[in-house]
Structure 1
Amino acid sequence: MSFSFFKPSRPKTPSELVKAIRESLLALDTKTVVEVKALEKALEEVEKNFLAMRQMLSGDGEVEPNTENVSQFAIEICKEDVLGLFIHKLHVLGWEARKDLVHCWCILLKQTIGSGNCCVEYIESHLDLLDFLVLCYDNKDVALNCGNMVRECIKFPSLAKYILDSTSFELFFKYVELPNFDVASDAFATFRDLLTRHETAVSEFLTARYEEFFELYEKLLTSANYVTRRQSLKLLSEFLLELPSNSHIMKRYILEVRHLKVMMTLLKDSSKNIQISAFHIFKVFVANPNKPHEIIAILAKNHERLLMLLHNLSVGKGAEDEQFEEEKELIIKEIERVSRLPKIT
């Protein structure tokens, strides 16, 4: 004889689950900190719905997700404007709900339906959501969650280009030096992705905003914070010297005395790692066959100090050391050569 009085609940369809998520998120609007129990109950409902969403999108460990359900869920999420609610309600959610949300966000943005991607297209039509996400770096409670979400967005060229061209981009120059190390490191990871992931967008951005960008970037290179100086120098080398599409930016950069002076200062840094990283950019100034007179004059005037710094600079043992020493010898010879040139009045 069966004593089961209740049938197991039927799993929600994608449409039903999206509506349930939307209602539970909107319910947070009517709750205040004073109504602690009401707020706790509303958050519990959100967590329950988010868990169901996670299981629908990625399975439960035993059963794989139904691809049709995943696609339909992505469509409904956009149709009901829930994608925007995810971002605006993030700061209210508990730790577990935020973790589930970020996990699902990454899955949703990858969903290609037909020839398009409805979630990316939704964000393209609501670009203020990207600005809001970037601003969330100011809230240390959700900064790492938002950082993950932003990096997922900037995998797509159109979204990366928007952030680069927006006023929000300048905020990263502040965020990478926030006192919270974890948040600052996460912000730098996003900053790096923005400047390296999509070559064409980055090249167009640097071409259009060259002066403004490098004025701000110089402050990072000369920061009192060791980590900031080292990371910024390494990133500069990466997007300036390693991305072919930025060759015209590099050629312009190495013609300017102010940039050479920064590298010369970094060659004197107390950190050997920073000295070596600075050398790899400094050598491009020196090796340039078309050095302007101003650059030659600076090298000649400071040749004794530069030669002393270079003679004392070494990476250690191994194959890298051999190549480094060869490059260093060439740079030393070139500095010695320009120091013997007749002074130009």
Structure 2
Amino acid sequence: MAFWWKKTPKTPSDYARLLSEQLNKFENASTVDSRRKIQDDCSKYLAGTKHFLLGEVEPEPSVEAVDELYSAIYQLDLLYDLLVNLAELEFEARKDVALLFATCLRHSRDNKLVTVDYLVTRPKTISLMLRAPQMALSKANSSDLFLKTGSIILESLKYEQLCRLMLRDPQIWLFFDFAKSGSFEVSTESLQILTNLLTIHQKPVATEFFSQPANLHKFIEKINNVMAHGSYVTKRQSVKLLQYLIMIRAYNHLLTAYINSPDNLKLIMILLSDRSKNLQLASFNIFKVFVANPRKSKPVLDIMVKNRDKLLHYLQSFNTDSKDVTFLDEKEYVVQEIESLPRLVSPNGDFSFGTSPQH
């Protein structure tokens, strides 16, 4: 494959070295023309690096040559520099950066993920990776840049060692804010990042994240905020995420904390009466867990008792056209459980089914 740059790489490490040199020039670029020249050179050297690692050059590079290039990438801290300057690169070059990260992360030698092990020793790169989406939102074409940084994070989350590092980084909480108030693309990407962060590697999430009361309470606060104040799409996605999480056996800390809170029950009951049928159904899958809990807290039980008749009236006409046998069985069970609650002649309290929770 022929390349068209003036400086031709003579060794594998030249690909990384020449790209690093160009990236470091952005800081001092004073004119539009100089910046464009640096962008062009970065695109060329980045494409060359990618093609070399993928074996798309002739002759096909040897294993030793590829290892030499990887070593240069690590020694030059090139992955960090690419994240720092991602906003400066051209559109196609940004796509190449995302592909380069994915390719590097898959690189293994002697049954070891070399790049993953390298990044574990460079927590500043993981921290920057999580900070990059916020930085992207202040730039032009912010959604596209956000998605590129998001794709790098999603690729990194496939590896448990990197997921552990991200779980410890306080910047992960920002993705709840992005999910609630961002554009459609930003919101959905943020929720996908949170979903992958909390579901792919369940052991560290259970033992290192949800086992900490501070994380547990903050997660509930954040997810409730998205469910209450997000757009329709983010409400539905966040409800489905919560439903999935509380059903994971290893996350018993989360399940117990969530279904014993009266405020959480109030929110789910409000969502259960939403105008959207899909959101109603998603909320029902959480509501049924509150109902099925054999050891309800007194505040939760009080709300159900006070709203007993209203709930029964609502469920009587809830999703009556469904042919889903599982849903119908679950609905019948929920109705029977609510019917077994004490009946109040004149319900009182600070909450009534279908109204907003009191704060």
Instruction: Please point out which of 98, 111, 114 is paired with 1:102.
Output: 98
Change (3 A) 1:19 1:168: same
Matches within 5 A, 1:1-345: 12-32=10-30, 35-60=31-56, 66-138=62-134, 139=136, 140=142, 141-203=144-206, 204-208=208-212, 209-241=215-247, 243-314=248-319, 316-318=321-323, 321-340=324-343
User: Which stretches in structure 1 are left out of the alignment for 5+ residues?
Assistant: 1-8
Change (3 A) 1:308 1:70: farther
Tell me how far apart the structure 2 counterparts of residues 74 and 236 of structure 1 sit (CA, whole Å).
40
**What's the TM-score, normalizing by structure 1?**
0.88
Q: Counterpart of 2:351? A: none
Secondary structure at the counterpart of residue 142 of structure 1: helix
Residues 188 and 234 in structure 2, CA contact (< 8 A), matched pair in contact too? no
Q: Counterpart of 2:356? A: none
Tell me how far apart the structure 2 counterparts of residues 126 and 186 of structure 1 sit (CA, whole Å).
25
Change (3 A) 1:214 1:115: same
CA deviations 1:93-152 (Å, max 9, x no partner) are: 111111111111100011112353332233222222222222222321521110011111
Tell me how far apart the structure 2 counterparts of residues 63 and 182 of structure 1 sit (CA, whole Å).
41
1:19 alignment partner AA: R
Tell me how far apart the structure 2 counterparts of residues 64 and 252 of structure 1 sit (CA, whole Å).
56
Residues 126 and 166 in structure 2, CA contact (< 8 A), matched pair in contact too? yes
Change (3 A) 1:152 1:12: farther
Percent identity for Structure 1 against Structure 2: 30
Tell me how far apart the structure 2 counterparts of residues 280 and 64 of structure 1 sit (CA, whole Å).
54
1:260 alignment partner AA: L
Q: Counterpart of 1:5? A: none
Residues 55 and 65 in structure 1, CA contact (< 8 A), matched pair in contact too? no
Tell me how far apart the structure 1 counterparts of residues 181 and 48 of structure 2 sit (CA, whole Å).
36
Tell me how far apart the structure 2 counterparts of residues 182 and 210 of structure 1 sit (CA, whole Å).
27
2:218 alignment partner AA: E
Residues 299 and 339 in structure 1, CA contact (< 8 A), matched pair in contact too? no
Tell me how far apart the structure 1 counterparts of residues 299 and 197 of structure 2 sit (CA, whole Å).
33
Tell me how far apart the structure 2 counterparts of residues 12 and 317 of structure 1 sit (CA, whole Å).
67
User: Which stretches in structure 2 are left out of the alignment for 5+ residues?
Assistant: 1-6, 137-141, 348-359
Secondary structure at the counterpart of residue 289 of structure 1: coil
Bigger Cα displacement from structure 2, 54-63 vs 264-273: 54-63
Tell me how far apart the structure 1 counterparts of residues 121 and 223 of structure 2 sit (CA, whole Å).
31
CA deviations 1:246-284 (Å, max 9, x no partner) are: 134213322222211111111111111111111111111
1:86 Cα offset (Å): 1.1
Residues 14 and 73 in structure 1, CA contact (< 8 A), matched pair in contact too? yes
CA deviations 1:295-320 (Å, max 9, x no partner) are: 222111101111122112117444xx
Residues 150 and 190 in structure 1, CA contact (< 8 A), matched pair in contact too? yes
Tell me how far apart the structure 2 counterparts of residues 72 and 308 of structure 1 sit (CA, whole Å).
70
Tell me how far apart the structure 1 counterparts of residues 192 and 281 of structure 2 sit (CA, whole Å).
22
RMSD: 2.4
**What's the TM-score, normalizing by structure 2?**
0.85
Tell me how far apart the structure 2 counterparts of residues 172 and 49 of structure 1 sit (CA, whole Å).
33
Tell me how far apart the structure 1 counterparts of residues 271 and 181 of structure 2 sit (CA, whole Å).
22
Tell me how far apart the structure 1 counterparts of residues 23 and 298 of structure 2 sit (CA, whole Å).
64
Tell me how far apart the structure 2 counterparts of residues 77 and 250 of structure 1 sit (CA, whole Å).
44
